[in-house]
Amino acid sequence: MSESAALLDDLLAGKHRALARVITKIENRDPGYRELVSGLYEHTGNAEVIGITGSPGAGKSTLVDKLAEHYREQGETVGVVAIDPSSPYTGGAVLGDRIRMASNVGDMDVFFRSMSARGNLGGLSTATADAVKAMDAFGKDKVIIETVGAGQNEIDIVGAADTVTVLVPPGAGDNVQMLKAGILEIADIFVVNKADMDGADRTVQELTEMVHLGQGSTTVDAGHHGFDEVEMDLEMPADTDPWKPPIVETVATDGEGVVDLVETFAEHRAFLESSGELTRRRRQRVAEEIRTLLRDDAAGLVADELEDSGGVGAFVDGVMSGDTDPYTIADDVMAPIRDCVEDQ
């Protein structure tokens, strides 16, 4: 039995160490990680994947802790993937989300994994989606993804979670901020955390107004969660009411509103299942995953081809001396690959 196969068996048998090691291999892009993830695939699809995003200090980690505690009280197992930024200079990182997990210490059925973004800019790391698969296959009932403290445009979470929750702290800005494109568009559920603070009412009101403005145009439009091509074959049935993102108020530090939020998650889940939206999102996710893999592989082939043609240095010399230009070089290097594709 290969090392990967043995590791996979251990993971499926419920060994925590094996789950931890599989995630490490996925993160490190170790040789053999593809075999692992491909082996995980058939065991996935049972976990509910909840994404939590919002600005730094909005209370994501504290809320995740309380959510995990709540699910554990109901007898459900929980996996958490929490991403923090990596240094643009050294690649190092301090991963501090775990400190907030005070309610679940010593409970191995909350599997908490900190991840560095490793230079990725969309709020997740490249390995996040695969790490979620590992937790799903391990048998976690709920998997919670906590993104990097997000600004306006870190929206990778859409491609990884079934339910996207955006935390908006009180006083997050006026109604023009609410009109802006980006993170506020991706929410399935809004949470105004720190709801005991001044300005919380106003933030709730502005969000309500924003959600209201969006009704009938973009809310659950097929292109809304799309990356590039939109699949039209799973259009929502006309008689289904579109999902209107609810706004939930919480005070994560003392657990206020957490029950409301969990109920809202359940409602959204029911909507996803009854409307066919879950299938549509998962199809889109798989499509995007296939495209990403192909893109990476193609990039690898191009890198090899570049190496075979003498490396980038010689080409740069050519451009600097005025003999050629980057476009001509790209055409030349791509020529053999293009020929292969056209021959088929």
Q: Does 28 participate in binding another protein (rule CB under 8 A)? A: yes
Least distance between another protein and beta carbon 304 (Å) = 6
Residue 107 CB burial class (10 angstroms; 0-12, 13-18, ≥19): middle
Residue 114 and residue 95 in contact, taking contact as beta carbons nearer than 8 Å: yes
Tokens of 64: 């995740």
Binding mask 49-88 for another protein (x = CB under 8 A): -------------------------------------xx-
Least distance between another protein and beta carbon 333 (Å) = 15
- Binding segment for another protein (CB under 8 A), chosen from 18-26, 166-174, 180-188, 226-234, is 18-26
Q: Which secondary structure element, helix H or strand E, spans residue 262, and what is its range? A: helix 258-275
Q: Does 96 participate in binding another protein (rule CB under 8 A)? A: yes
Q: Does 2 participate in binding another protein (rule CB under 8 A)? A: no
- 179, 270, 286, 301: which one contacts another protein (CB under 8 A)? 301
Closer residue to another protein in complex, CB, 135/184: 135
Q: Does 95 participate in binding another protein (rule CB under 8 A)? A: yes
Residue 279 and residue 162 in contact, taking contact as beta carbons nearer than 8 Å: no
Q: Does 308 participate in binding another protein (rule CB under 8 A)? A: no
Closer residue to another protein in complex, CB, 28/46: 28
Give 337's contacts (C-beta < 8 A, 6+ positions apart): 301, 302, 305
- Binding segment for another protein (CB under 8 A), chosen from 56-64, 221-229, 270-278, 296-304, is 296-304
- 297, 308, 317, 325: which one contacts another protein (CB under 8 A)? 297
User: 194 in helix, strand or coil?
Assistant: coil
Q: Does 118 participate in binding another protein (rule CB under 8 A)? A: yes
Q: Does 299 participate in binding another protein (rule CB under 8 A)? A: yes
Residue 45 and residue 80 in contact, taking contact as beta carbons nearer than 8 Å: no
Closer residue to another protein in complex, CB, 47/158: 47
- 27, 48, 136, 156: which one contacts another protein (CB under 8 A)? 27
Q: What single-letter DSSP state applies at residue 32? A: T
- Binding segment for another protein (CB under 8 A), chosen from 13-21, 50-58, 212-220, 277-285, is 13-21
Torsion from C-alpha of 116, 120, 123, 124, nearest 10 degrees: -60
- Binding segment for another protein (CB under 8 A), chosen from 25-33, 50-58, 264-272, 319-327, is 25-33
- The DSSP string of 115-160 is EE-TT--SSS-TTHHHHHHHHHHHT-SEEEEEPSPP-SS--GGGGT
Residue 87 and residue 93 in contact, taking contact as beta carbons nearer than 8 Å: yes
Q: Does 112 participate in binding another protein (rule CB under 8 A)? A: yes
Least distance between another protein and beta carbon 28 (Å) = 5
Least distance between another protein and beta carbon 202 (Å) = 34
Provide the β-strand partners of residue 300.
Answer: none
The strands making up 247-249's β-sheet, listed across from edge to edge, are: 110-116, 78-84, 142-146, 48-54, 163-167, 189-192, 247-249
CA distances (Å), origin 83, targets 61, 121, 171, 243: 10, 11, 25, 28
Q: Where on the chain is the footprint of another protein (CB under 8 A)?
A: 16-17, 20-21, 23-25, 27-31, 86-87, 90-96, 98-99, 105-108, 111-114, 116, 118, 296-297, 299-301, 303-304
